Amino acid sequence: YQVWAVGFYNRPGATVLSTVFAQPCNPQLPGSVSFPEGTVAIKFLFTDASPDEVTYLRSAPEYDANIDEPGSGSRPRLVEDRRQTIVRLLQVDISVKDKNAPETGWVFGTFGWVGPLKGDGLYDNLVPVSLQWRNDPRVYDTRIAESWINPDLQNIMYGWAKRPALGFNGRANGPADNIRSSCLSCHA
């Protein structure tokens, strides 16, 4: 399945990114990028996976999107080679630059769509999946102490042979994310 994302930053984060993209056709990445305290980023992830196969996507908000052909791989595609199809809301990631996370500077939270539809039809179905405030840098087994994983989602979003955990050795991650990584490892 394909996963497509749309991200947003608040004003402090967008201001930093505006320096990188001051010339949109010639972005300039400085030696380091430092986002100020209080920067917030939110990313909505959508998938073309069928709710018949990924059952927790039942009743997820649906949108028309121009995405790559199934099985086309990860190489870049021309826009005209894409096809219109339905994608469903799968996951929402929120990151906050926070001085209370001194080693990493960031706190990450992931929320996943879990159907069937209930309550307000959006926020009531976005269930906390994981939270990560550090990356357990000296932990090489599953004794993770700097992430929280929602145990109610075991056997729904993780907990089987091909996906025993969400992230590396049980670190925080979302259902669309690389099992060999974590929120902080990927976004560090």
Q: 106-113 and 83-97 as β-strands: parallel, antiparallel, unpaired?
A: antiparallel
Indicate whether 150 pLDDT > 80. yes
Mean pLDDT of 142-152: 94
- Beta-bridge partner residues of 66: 84
> Greater confidence, 82 or 58?
58
Q: Confidence class of residue 160 from pLDDT cuts 50, 70 and 90?
A: very high
Phi, psi of 123 (to 5 degrees): -65, -35
Residue 162 binned pLDDT confidence (cut-offs 50, 70, 90) = very high
- Dihedral (Cα; 11, 13, 16, 18), 10-degree rounding: -60
Of the pLDDT bands very low, low, confident and very high (cuts 50, 70, 90), residue 121 is confident
Going by pLDDT thresholds of 50, 70 and 90, the confidence category of residue 188 is: low
Q: Encode 102-117: b = buried (16+ Cβ within 10 Å), e = exposed.
A: eebbbbbbbbbbbeee
Long-range contacts of 99-106 (CB under 8 A, 24+ apart): 99/37, 100/133, 101/133, 101/134, 103/134, 103/135, 103/137, 104/133, 104/134, 104/135, 104/184, 104/188, 106/184, 106/187
pLDDT at 48: 95
Percent of the chain's residues with pLDDT above 70: 98
**Cα gap 101→147, rounded to integer Å:** 12
> Out of 87-96, 102-111, 147-156, which region has the weakest mean confidence (pLDDT)?
102-111
- pLDDT, averaged across the chain: 92
For residue range 30-65, what is the model confidence (pLDDT) as tens digits?
888 889 999 999 999 999 999 999 999 999 999 999
Query: pLDDT tens digits, residue range 170-187?
Result: 999 999 999 999 998 887
Q: Are 52 and 17 spatial neighbours (Cβ–Cβ below 8 Å)?
A: no
Cα gap 39→165, rounded to integer Å: 29
pLDDT of residue 69: 83
Which residues, 6 or more positions from 142, have their beta carbon under 8 angstroms from its beta carbon? Answer: 165, 169, 170
Which tokens sit at 90? 């799968």
Q: Are 172 and 166 in contact (CB under 8 A)?
A: yes
Query: How far is 64 from 184, CA to CA, in rounded Å?
Result: 31
